[in-house]
Amino acid sequence: MNRTDYTRRDFLKNAGIGAASLTLPCWLSSCKPGNKAQSHTCKAGKDRLHIVTLSFDDGFKKSSIRTAEIYEKYNLSACINVIATAHHKDFELPNEYHAWTAADFGLWNELKARGHEIMPHSYKHADKSALPFNQAKELILRCLDYFARELKGFDRKQAVFNFPYNKSTPELEAWLPTVVRAFRTGGGGLNPLPSKSQVKLTCTGFGPGNCEQHLDNEIEKLLALDSGWLIYNLHGLDDEGWGPVRSSYLEELLERLLAIDSVVIMPAGEALQNFGSSRA
């Protein structure tokens, strides 16, 4: 079975997230790549559930293409967060960790059509916590407007805005849920399971060097819980970006996680859209 034959998104649509005969933990455990719907019931609270979101920022072209290829090998959707103007010739690099070629919306539309999640990661990667509220708000709105024009099917009401540097302010956090579904900022990688009221997602990461050991440690923390949701902020692969991981490590990690019955790997927006509606 390949990705085009039966994707996770197809499964979600066909199975029906609101099915009364299935509780969330049990239903998720049957939603593995390549698995067909299973007609069984279980008692709430009896099943372990661990959602893993690897959240790739900045939109480096080479890394994004390779990340998508690796995820597709396992029939998974990657979570890629894009700086709206990073592909412009006059884009000013915010620091040396953005020196690699960024893709344009031609690639983002292609990857979205292939089932990957493409979300906003700012207009020009400015630190919103260092700006006056109105200026930060204007940049976020310009980013969302750009996505609405350039990314086919983009719906800001279903979008997750991923703060540059994972830095936000209480004022921005209070305002953003009026324009987007949720936002991602700093504060630790472990989150509660997706719920209808959840708008603030927090993440962790490590850099500027290789972050593989740190990511392994965070996964161990997640798996030590009965249930939970780990959102880990990654950037590029191999030698690209801040806190990279090797391509070979990413493949090995996905294989290792998919072998664990309680683990589901998915993008942040997909988790909120498909599973958040089932929880208060």
Sorted by where each begins, the domain ranges of the chain are: 49-278
231 pLDDT higher than 70:
yes
Mean pLDDT on 15-24 = 32
- Please check the confidence at residue 6 and state whether its pLDDT lies above 90: no
Average pLDDT over residues 225-244: 97
pLDDT tens column, 151-172: 999 999 999 999 999 999 999 9
Give the residue carrying structure tokens 């407007």.
Answer: 145
> Rounded distance, CA 198 to CA 177, Å?
10
Is the CATH number 3.20.20.370 carried by domain 49-278?
A: yes
Counting DSSP H helices and E strands in the chain, the numbers are: 9, 9
In contact, 72 and 251? CB cutoff 8 Å: no
Reply yes or no on whether the pLDDT at 243 is more than 50: yes
The answer on pLDDT for 99 being more than 90 is: no
The answer to whether 78 and 85 have CB atoms below 8 angstroms apart is no
pLDDT score of 263 = 97
Q: What is the pLDDT of residue 118?
A: 98
Average of per-residue pLDDT across 191-215: 97
Query: Predicted confidence band at 39 (pLDDT cuts at 50, 70, 90)?
Result: very low
Please identify which residue in the block is written with the tokens 């208060």. 280
User: Sorting pLDDT into bands at 50, 70 and 90, what band is 242?
Assistant: very high
Least confident stretch, 35-44, 101-110, 225-234: 35-44
Cβ(62)–Cβ(101) under 8 Å? Answer: yes
- For residue 258, pLDDT over 70 is answered with yes
pLDDT of the residue at 260: 97
What mean pLDDT do residues 206-216 have?
Answer: 97
